[in-house]
Structure 1
Amino acid sequence: MAHILLADDDKATRDLVKRALESDGHKVDLTQDGAEALDRLIAAPEGIDVLVSDVHMPGLDGIDLARRAIETSPRLKLLLMSGFAEELDRAQALKSPNLNVIIKPFTLEQIRSAVRTLIA
């Protein structure tokens, strides 16, 4: 299974997504914002298979995090989450073959399926 780094400033969302992904057997590490997630990626770029991040976060948002993550680890799989369509349009502009987006609110099965699709 995959080693997933999850970045979201909302504790309830972090906990929900973590439980959903761990139920599929993935190892999930939590971070509270983009800066913390980027620090973890830089420290161990080969140790993370998938980055799941909210787009709307204070400081380093999910789009900028994804852009920098691609530079750090080009083979990293990315899943960006947002409730705002315009933010997901910005995400699509990254044009990475390893990028997928999911619109909030989503079900547990939808987030699990999105990650499965990325790692397949």
Structure 2
Amino acid sequence: MKKAGYKKKIIAACEQAGTYRPFFDEPINQLAEIMELRETAMKQFKKSGSKSVIMKSTPAGAVPIKNPELSLIDSLTKTALSYWRDLGLTPSGLKKIDEKSMKQKKKSVLAEALNGF
């Protein structure tokens, strides 16, 4: 999926969760780009055999290492998760946003007095 497709899906998810705000468009763009990169990395990882450990040649011989493609996927996934959380699209992220919006703002004594009129 391309960045534009991810952007539409993210905005729809935010709207469904009730967390979409126009000023979230830039983080949404960034998340859509991260998701596109992650998908590309995942395709490459699968194309190369989906091996989580590969052998790396060194002067002393071959040594097993974590596949760099898998490391990239892990990194992009963690980054995307932080964006999802900040947009209120995870249970903890939504709870945090809801708690902030549910807290009543303190009214000043003057505002209380003016409401009485």
TM over 0.5: no
User: Between Structure 1 and Structure 2, which shows a larger proportion of helix residues?
Assistant: 2
- Greater CA radius of gyration, 1 or 2? 2
Return the TM-score normalized by structure 1: 0.31
Q: TM-score, normalised by structure 2?
A: 0.31
More strand by share: 1
